[in-house]
């Protein structure tokens, strides 16, 4: 699979960047749609996005480099080259949401309400962005037989045939899971949901899928013998369960 979509005067435009851009556009489109249905100010979301997105990219790169520093210690300048990949979504979420929280507090915007509204957009962007990994030939799983991979479309088969071996298309598994989660979140958002329940469901459901899919991957960021993404995902699942228990307890207390 050729990671370069086209070139302009010798400057390569890569599919990885195109997929990120498409994910952002789709996310903003969905956010606008949800804002109209929930009577929420879309301008607040755009302003927050413009502040938080650069921090999300910085965080995604920093997170990846920290755990893969051996790949960069002899050529530090490559740390700044993100066109070849090397962005970790957990780092992006941590930095991006932190920046959004600080900005919304400064502007006196309800962060939880905003987070509920944009949660489906975040997971949609992730679903589309995962295809950038496909074009880069990265974030795949372990080797599989032709009999297994033959069940997938031909272009997936070709993309997952790397150096003479077929691999699990884990990018596809996660992309499909993320799309499913997006639909669930939109459904929750359109109901009379509890404040914070949509963003919490996003954290829990995404983390649940990522935990299992990460176990298939061969390029996981490691902390000793522990897959970092699985550790963070497990934390996300526990947080989400705890939050929904809190909401249920709060409802019961209010009904007394």
Give, for 143, the enclosing helix (H) or strand (E): strand 143-144
**pLDDT in 10s for each residue of the chain, 256 residues:** 789 999 998 899 999 999 999 999 999 999 999 999 888 999 999 999 999 999 999 999 999 999 999 888 888 888 888 876 789 999 999 999 999 999 999 999 999 999 999 999 999 999 999 999 999 999 999 999 999 999 999 999 999 999 999 999 999 999 999 999 999 999 999 997 889 999 999 999 999 999 999 999 999 999 999 999 999 999 999 999 999 999 888 877 776 5
116 has which bridge partners? Answer: none
Residues sharing a CB contact under 8 Å with residue 22, sequence separation 6 or more, in sequence order: 128
pTM of the complete model: 0.93
Which pLDDT score, from 0 to 100, does residue 204 have? Answer: 98
What is the Cα–Cα distance from 153 to 158, expressed in whole angstroms? 9
Q: What is the DSSP letter of 215?
A: T
Report residue 166: phi and psi, to 5°.
-90, 145
Give, for 4, the enclosing helix (H) or strand (E): strand 4-8
Which pLDDT score, from 0 to 100, does residue 256 have? Answer: 59
161 has which bridge partners? Answer: 166
**What is the residue whose two structure tokens read 């990018």?**
171
Report residue 159: phi and psi, to 5°.
-70, -30
Which pLDDT score, from 0 to 100, does residue 255 have? Answer: 66
Which pLDDT score, from 0 to 100, does residue 186 have? Answer: 97
């Amino acid at each position: 699979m050729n990671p370069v979509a086209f070139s302009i005067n010798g400057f390569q435009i890569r599919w990885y960047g195109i997929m990120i851009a498409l994910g952002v556009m789709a996310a903003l489109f969905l956010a606008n749609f949800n804002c109209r249905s929930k009577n929420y100010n879309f301008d607040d979301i755009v302003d927050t996005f413009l502040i938080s997105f650069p921090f999300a990219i910085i965080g995604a790169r920093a997170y990846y480099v920290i755990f893969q520093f051996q790949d960069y210690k002899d050529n530090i300048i490559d740390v700044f080259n993100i066109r070849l990949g090397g962005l970790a979504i957990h780092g992006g979420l941590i930095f991006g949401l932190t920046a959004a929280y600080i900005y919304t507090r400064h502007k006196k915007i309800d962060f939880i309400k905003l987070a509920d509204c944009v949660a489906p957009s975040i997971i949609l962007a992730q679903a589309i962005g995962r295809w950038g990994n496909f074009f880069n030939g990265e974030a795949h799983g372990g080797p599989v037989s032709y009999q297994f991979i033959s069940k997938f479309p031909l272009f997936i088969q070709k993309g997952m045939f790397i150096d003479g071996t077929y691999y699990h298309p884990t990018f596809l598994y996660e992309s499909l899971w993320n799309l499913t989660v997006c639909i669930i979140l939109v459904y929750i958002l359109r109901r009379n949901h509890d404040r914070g329940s949509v963003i919490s469901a996003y954290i829990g459901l995404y983390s649940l899928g990522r935990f299992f899919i990460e176990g298939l991957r061969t390029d996981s960021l490691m902390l000793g013998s522990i897959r970092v993404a699985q550790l963070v995902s497990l934390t996300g699942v526990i947080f989400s369960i705890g939050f929904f228990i809190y909401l249920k307890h709060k409802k019961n207390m209010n009904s007394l």
